[in-house]
Amino acid sequence: MKKYNFNAGPSVLPKETVENTIEAIRDFEGTGIGLMEISHRIKEYEKVVADAAALFKELLHIPEGYSVLFLGGGASLQFCMVPFNLLEKKAAYLNTGVWANKAQKEAKLFGEVIEVASSKDANYTFIPKKYTIPTDADYFHITTNNTIYGTEIHEDIDSPVTLVADMSSDIFSRPIDVAKYGLIYGGAQKNLAPAGVTFVIVKDELLGKVSRAIPTMLDYRTHIKYGSMFNTPPVLPIYAALQTLKWLKSIGGVEEMYKRNKEKAALLYAEIDRNKLFKGTTAVEDRSLMNICFVMNEEYKDLNDDFYKFATEKGMVGIKGHRSVGGFRASTYNALPKEAVEALIACMQEFEKSH
């Protein structure tokens, strides 16, 4: 039976990424040594890192004056690296989910933090709209997509202060104007690579402004100076990321990916809205293109476990909703084919007919 991978992360990757990485594990670039065993200092691997950074810049149209870094520690380490490097007196945060809340909590260790708005009281079912960003803040932090709750900020925000964004789960899924951001970061395990590498896009001129001493490993300037090679980088995930970036370029780049993602999401949301058994969990205007959350309608809630079992038997993998929301979550990341969404819809329709 064919399996369809809807896992929220680590998640589906392009088959080209998987196949090319497997081959490199056996023999990296004809060196006779596998990717997991090579020195990261050889010229062939230095080229991997350089090419990956170059493709980041090309695909996202990153302007001059920004650096692209590949680091360890996950996006969660960035929760402290961002304020360590940027927060002098005050930072502003938009609280739209668990990860946004955790980022805000870490920042409080470094200075004053203003929560400009929150949807926590509504279990993060919408993105707050009417709020004021304090103009004396060192930066304004947002989480563009919320994997647990299925909400997403769909447009680049015009911020009067430096805009910082956690784009762990929607990077490369839609065009962005990088010039509107001072720093973008994210874990790679949703749309880019296996877990283990974190990307950072940072405007160079923002750095070196805080008065505190920054530990060497937590200073972005260290990693810029050494080209993400200050210490041994996550070799395999960076190589896999390069393969994904090559694949993305080959299909037409971010613009084509956005077209595909909108189509997949529209199909599934239409079925959720049509099907008598199911309903969405978030405000319609804030529905995520990456994590589509839905639950059983109240009169059919006793069928929750039955549908999960039915869908699993049909090859749907990873559709169980997060415990904070319940129900179901279909993560429709870049590498998920339209065929998978169509298979899930057919599954929902078949289950509806029998109930």
Gap between the Cα atoms of 102 and 220, Å rounded: 21
Tokens of 335: 């590498």
User: Is the CB of residue 272 less than 8 Å from the CB of residue 278?
Assistant: yes
Gap between the Cα atoms of 201 and 181, Å rounded: 9
Q: Which of 138, 170, 190, 286 is catalytic?
A: 190
Q: Which of 138, 166, 219, 286 is catalytic?
A: 166
Q: Which of 99, 219, 264, 286 is catalytic?
A: 99
Residues in contact with 42: Cβ distance below 8 Å, sequence separation at least 6, in sequence order: 31
**The one-letter amino acid at 16:** E
Tokens of 184: 């973008």
Gap between the Cα atoms of 242 and 17, Å rounded: 8
Gap between the Cα atoms of 306 and 298, Å rounded: 15
User: Is the CB of residue 329 less than 8 Å from the CB of residue 150?
Assistant: yes
Phi, psi of 217 (to 5 degrees): -70, -20
CA dihedral 338, 290, 186, 100 (to 10 degrees): -170
**How close are the terminal C-alpha atoms of the chain, in Å?**
24
The SS3 of residue 331 is strand
Catalytic, 99? Answer yes
Catalytic, 279? Answer no
**318 alpha-carbon distance from chain centroid:** 17
Q: Which are the catalytic amino acids? A: 99, 166, 190
